């Protein structure tokens, strides 16, 4: 059984304010992200993260046998599909 996503009135109002072009771009990007088995090209980003948060994240990823940047990407993908 698939989960049913519910929206609050505030969430629906915010959704209505998003320009149609942005909605179409998001859906196109989302579709490409989930419709291919080949790796997508990556881009480098710069993000400011507290040192201890990053260090702790890196240590936990290492303990679990994964690369921390890969885990960050997985968390991003999970958030988009939630």
Q: What is the DSSP letter of 19?
A: -
Q: What are the residues whose beta carbons fall under 8 Å from the beta carbon of 15, sequence distance 6 or more? A: 7
pLDDT value of position 1: 59
Q: What are the domain boundaries of the chain?
A: 46-82
How far is the C-alpha of 48 from the C-alpha of 35, rounded, in Å?
A: 31
Query: Are the C-beta atoms of 62 and 68 separated by less than 8 Å?
Result: yes
How far is the C-alpha of 33 from the C-alpha of 75, rounded, in Å?
A: 14
pLDDT value of position 7: 78
Query: Are the C-beta atoms of 70 and 26 separated by less than 8 Å?
Result: no
Q: What is the pLDDT of residues 20-59, one digit of tens each?
A: 888 888 888 777 776 666 677 889 999 999 999 999 999 9
Q: Mean pLDDT over all residues of the chain?
A: 84
């Amino acid at each position: 059984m698939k989960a049913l996503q519910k929206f609050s009135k505030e969430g629906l109002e915010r959704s209505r304010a998003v320009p149609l072009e942005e909605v179409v771009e998001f859906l196109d990007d989302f579709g490409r992200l989930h419709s291919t088995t080949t790796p997508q090209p990556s881009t480098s980003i710069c993000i400011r993260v507290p040192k201890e948060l990053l260090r702790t994240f890196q240590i936990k990823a290492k303990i679990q046998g994964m690369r921390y940047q890969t885990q960050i990407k997985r968390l991003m993908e999970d958030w988009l599909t939630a």
